[in-house]
Amino acid sequence: DIQMTQSPSTLSASVGDRVTITCRASQSLSTWLAWYQQKPGKAPKLLIYKASSLQSGVPARFSGSGSETEFTLTISSLQSDDFATYYCQQYTSYPLTFGGGTKVEIK
Amino acid sequence: EVHLVESGGGLVQPGGSLRLSCAASGFSFSDHYMDWVRQAAGKGLEWVGRIKNKANSYTTEYAASVKDRFSISRDDSKSSLYLHMNSLKTDDTAVYYCAGVTKDFSLADWGQGTLVTVSS
């Protein structure tokens, strides 16, 4: 199985900060990686697919980059609505696997 | 607008069985692969399994943790997805989400989830 390692597990930031979350895969994914945002008690929401493609309706302050085994999710200017937990997911091979999550908290 | 609504969750004893349903609307259900993903309280997301579409012979894939105990089926005439869960364990306690798979194979649309509690 492909292991997905996210860092950091928790991140404290202020509104307006630039935030970067890293996801590392144990094997090459090419660019078959997605990022999701989840708020408490809610279903996950797709933000980025194919490593860097912005899902329709997602604000442009979110961006993704990377390939093979190293990927990043960047929020260019953190907004109050962005405090949530973020997950990466590989979909290059079964079983599909998620990273452990990064909780973005208010500093 | 895509709408996915799970149902069928509840309290079940260890070793018991349960069937979850997911009613879909707002998109061409029969064309899409569908997934189940679960989340234990305070934990991360765990992929449970997938069923492909008719063009791909309704092939299924499962996580090792549920293989041989869970099975996924679909009824395209009813735009419905099912998760049949047998030999349930306390570790299966979680919120279960159904999700629609995009052409790119990411999970763009999710239901609100249904809680399954396995406890004596």
Which residue among A42, A43, A46 sits closest to B106, beta carbon to beta carbon? Answer: A46
State whether residue A71 sits within 8 Å of chain B by CB.
Answer: no
Closest CA to A34 of A71, A75, A81, A76: A71
- In the prediction, which pLDDT does B17 show? 98
How far is residue B30's CA from residue A57's CA, in Å, rounded to a whole number?
25
- In the prediction, which pLDDT does B67 show? 96
**Rounded mean pLDDT of B91-101?**
98
- In the prediction, which pLDDT does A5 show? 98
CB contact under 8 A, B45 and A43: no
Which residue among B45, B50, B110 sits closest to A98, beta carbon to beta carbon? Answer: B45
Farthest-apart Cα atoms in chain B, separation: 42
* Secondary structure (DSSP) of chain A: ---EEEE-SEEEE-TT--EEEEEEESS--TT-EEEEEE-TTS--EEEEETTTEEPTT--TTEEEEEETTEEEEEESS--GGG-SEEEEEE-SSSSPEE---EEEEE-
- In the prediction, which pLDDT does B85 show? 98
- In the prediction, which pLDDT does A90 show? 98
Q: What is the least distance, in Å, from the CA of B109 to any CA of chain A?
A: 8
- In the prediction, which pLDDT does B66 show? 98
Pairing verdict, β B94-101 and B80-85: unpaired
Nearest chain B Cα to A97, which residue? B47
Q: Confidence class of residue A8 from pLDDT cuts 50, 70 and 90?
A: very high
H or E segment and range at residue B35: strand B34-39
Contact B82, B23 (CB under 8 A): no
Q: What is the least distance, in Å, from the CA of A96 to any CA of chain B?
A: 6
**Rounded mean pLDDT of A56-70?**
97
CB contact under 8 A, B45 and A89: yes
Percent of chain A beyond pLDDT 90? 98
| pLDDT tens-digit map of A69-105 | 999 999 999 999 999 999 999 999 999 999 999 999 9
Q: Confidence class of residue B29 from pLDDT cuts 50, 70 and 90?
A: very high
Q: Confidence class of residue B83 from pLDDT cuts 50, 70 and 90?
A: very high
- In the prediction, which pLDDT does B64 show? 97
Closest CA to A6 of A105, A104, A106, A102: A102
Closest CA to A23 of A56, A60, A58, A67: A67
Q: Confidence class of residue B61 from pLDDT cuts 50, 70 and 90?
A: very high
